[in-house]
Chains A and B, each alone.
Chain A
Amino acid sequence: MMSSPIKDLETRRRLSRLKTEALLLSQQFGGVRFDMQHGTWFYVERFPISPGWNKTHIELLIDIPHGTPGYPSVPPEWFWTDYDLRTKKSQPINHFFTRGPSSDREHIDHGWGHFCVHLIGWRPAGGADLMRGHNLITYLNLIAAIFRDRRTLSGA
């Protein structure tokens, strides 16, 4: 049986990356947090979205893939956001589910809805230079672009 450092290297690598990405993202979005113990989630307190929605800012809680291989080889796809997010015209939102997986009942109880972004191309940046490739910054930029183009979400 392996002792504790054996299992920790992968988590340490993921935490180190999330820490760097959090520093970069906090300059853009203010309050951000992440799971500093296991590296399983990343949280943005006030994510600005473009006009056309019933809110100007939303919370984002991103599922970080944490198997091995996990993030960054595996891209994030699902994130949780405000349960009561609507377009101003109250159109249905594609890829937004007010009920998550059954095991995540607690998220629903806490007022979260589940949102999916499908990434077709994903070339993760290496740790030596996070800006050369994909990372959480590019993922959040993609989310911002999707919210900007409400047609992709509401089918309007």
Chain B
Amino acid sequence: MALEVHDIVLSSSLWLRLRDHLLPTGDGAGQWSNNEQLAFILAAPNVSASRVRLVGHELLLAQRPDLAHQSPSAIGPAGQFVADALTRCRQEGWSLIEVHSHPFDSSPRTTFSGVDWSNDRMKMPRLASMLPDPFYHATIVVGQNSLDAHYYQRATGAILPVGQVTIVGGICGESPVLSHFPSSTSARNSVRAPEVRHSRQLPLLGASTQEAFSKARIAVVGLGGLGSFVALELAYLGVGHLTLIDPDCIEASNLNRLIGAGPQDIGRYKVDVFRELLERVAPNVGVTAVAAPLLDDTALDHAKTADLLLGCVDGHGARLSLNHLSIRYLIPLIDAGTGARPGTDSRAAKVGGQVQVVAPGFGCLECRGFIQARQAAYDLAPPGVQEYERAHGYGTEEAAPSVIFLNGVVASMQVALAVRILSAESGHEHVVPKLVIYDAQAQRTFTAGVSYSPECATCGIDGVAGVADLAPLRAAPTAGPLFASALLVTEASRS
């Protein structure tokens, strides 16, 4: 059966520029604002076993010279504008999302006109035949108060509705991290009645947040002291689906902090132990357990289906990988970490942790300086190179201290932030802080400003936001054969 396009995912900055172009307001807009407007989005697919998401990467705004005709009720691109976009699709592998406006439509259910349908029926099969799989072609029409979206399903030749347009990221850094615009012709899911077991939290969260939570797919990466708390709390809260990713088995030294695990679990995969635990305490929560590192193909396939990533890892290679997964697929990441630094004669001991959000417009762990380069390079090196480095005394740092009450506090902060993000999704206007720090000795939490660089190599203007399956994550291949060409070059230089 052909997979359906579940949603179109756009960064908040792309969406704002698109809206400003499609529905211009303010001084100087004049007659221009009454006309339909048009833009293309170069997008990349995020294909998983269950659904397809089209992830926006680059916005191409059609200016007046790019249009063949334009009026308050019709618009068409010039041939060169189309040809330029299609050339990039063919050469670089992008999918295409065409967007135009209906500025005259202020209804709550804007939809495609008969002319729009006629155009799409004609050109969509033609473009699909011109461009190689996995080219996806979607169109969006945006009205004053609503939008509609559909796409061409290559396997069946049908034009089908896209469920929703998802906007990810902060606007001015303080707005909801996740927002959804349902498409007018998509089937609306009925609202489920909350379960009795959640009745005591409903007055606090609200029915809409509970509903959003029950539909959410959350990936918890790392099931150590933090991740075990996080997974259980999310299950008790009533999340729809949890994906647990961790390659490790339980060791005796983990039992001071893996909540719910006991001596009988030593030697078993953490994800298996916690899947059983979650199925017992919250049988309505779907659970997928992947006993593999994040860069394993299966783990990535499951992680990229998530609506929200919760990073509970202690390695900088895994943290960097999560950062890239978040930016590349436009999936918000809530990263958490704990730390303890023993005191010395001249320096007080420090114990605490932090929780932070990675999303478009918020910056990322790299431009904030939260990635330790040396450790990330070691963690991400091929196993043979790691072994070689250990043999020379590198990468042999002692395990960091960890204590359950510290993990519990920071994990709860992380889950509270997840609730806040999903609450915002359901219409509540909560401010989502970028970074929250917990000082265990002072017994206080505080939010902190973070630096954000538009020039960041990862999340910046020329970074990798929205490249999705066009540049998927993968572990470094072993060195050796790739150097053969280097040796030939250097031999030639010497001779």
Residue numbers of A with Cβ under 8 A of B are 2-3, 5-6, 8-10, 12-13, 31, 33, 35, 37-38, 40-41, 43, 45, 59, 61, 63, 65-70, 72-75, 77-78, 97, 100-104, 106-107, 110, 116, 118-129, 132-133
A128 touches B462 (CB 8 A): yes
Query: Does B72 lie at the interface of the complex (its beta carbon under 8 Å from any beta carbon of A)?
Result: no
Tell yes or no: B478 within 8 A of A by CB. Answer: yes
Query: Given the complex of chains A and B, what is the CA–CA distance between A3 and B95 in angstroms?
Result: 13
Q: Tell me if B486 and A126 are in contact (CB < 8 A).
A: no
Cβ–Cβ < 8 Å partners of A35 in chain B: 482, 485-486
Say if the beta carbon of B405 comes within 8 Å of chain A: no
Would B462 and A68 count as touching, CB distance under 8 A?
A: no
Q: Is A125 within 8 A of B457, CB to CB?
A: yes
- Report if B321 contacts A (CB, 8 A): yes
Is B473 at the interface (CB under 8 A from chain A)?
Answer: yes
Stretch at the interface among B5-13, B153-161, B373-381: B373-381
* Cross-chain contact of A68 among B133, B324, B482 (Cβ < 8 A): B324
Please report the C-alpha to C-alpha distance between residue A107 and residue B479 in the assembled complex, in whole angstroms: 11
* A contact face: mostly helix, strand, loop, or mixed: loop
Complex contacts, B323 vs chain A, CB 8 Å: 69
Q: Is the CB of B93 within 8 A of A8?
A: yes
CB-based nearest A residue for B89: A5
Q: Does B489 contact A (CB under 8 A)?
A: yes
Contact in complex: A67, B380 (CB < 8 Å): yes
Identify B380's interface contact among A33, A74, A119, A133, CB under 8 A: A74
Q: Is B2 an interface residue (CB 8 A)?
A: no
* Interface-lining segment among B163-171, B198-206, B347-355, B463-471: B463-471
| Least distance between A66 CB and chain B CB atoms (Å) | 6
**Residue B484, interface by CB 8 Å:** yes
Q: In the complex, what's the smallest C-beta–C-beta distance from A7 to chain B, in angstroms?
A: 8
The answer on a CB contact under 8 Å between A5 and B93 is yes
Contacts of B477 in A (CB 8 A): 66-67
Closest chain A CB from B86 CB (angstroms): 14
Q: Does the CB pair A61–B490 fall under 8 Å?
A: yes
The reply to whether A43 and B134 contact each other, CB–CB distance below 8 Å, is no
B369 surroundings in chain A (CB, below 8 A):
123
Interface segment out of the listed B22-30, B249-257, B384-392: B384-392
Could you list 22 A-B pairs, sorted by A, with CB under 8 Å? Answer: A3-B132, A33-B489, A40-B482, A40-B486, A41-B486, A43-B486, A59-B493, A61-B486, A67-B295, A69-B324, A69-B380, A73-B376, A74-B320, A74-B380, A100-B388, A101-B388, A104-B483, A124-B457, A126-B461, A126-B463, A127-B462, A133-B455
For the complex, give the distance between the alpha carbons of A104 and B479 in Å.
8
| Pair A67/B132 contact, Cβ less than 8 Å | no
B130 is an interface residue with CB less than 8 A from chain A: no
B125 beta carbon closer than 8 Å to chain A: no
Q: Which residues of B contact A3 (CB under 8 A)?
A: 93, 132-134
B428 beta carbon closer than 8 Å to chain A: no
Decide if A116 touches B376 in the complex (CB within 8 Å): no
The answer to whether B320 touches A126 (Cβ under 8 A) is: no
> Contact: B476 with A65, CB < 8 Å?
yes
Among candidates B366, B461, B480, B486, residue contacting A128 with C-beta atoms closer than 8 Å: B461
Given A74-B376, A75-B373, A101–B321 Cβ distance below 8 Å? Answer: no
State in angstroms the CA–CA spacing of A38 and B485 once bound together: 10
With A120-B374, A126-B462 already in contact, the answer to whether A68 and B473 are too (CB < 8 A) is yes
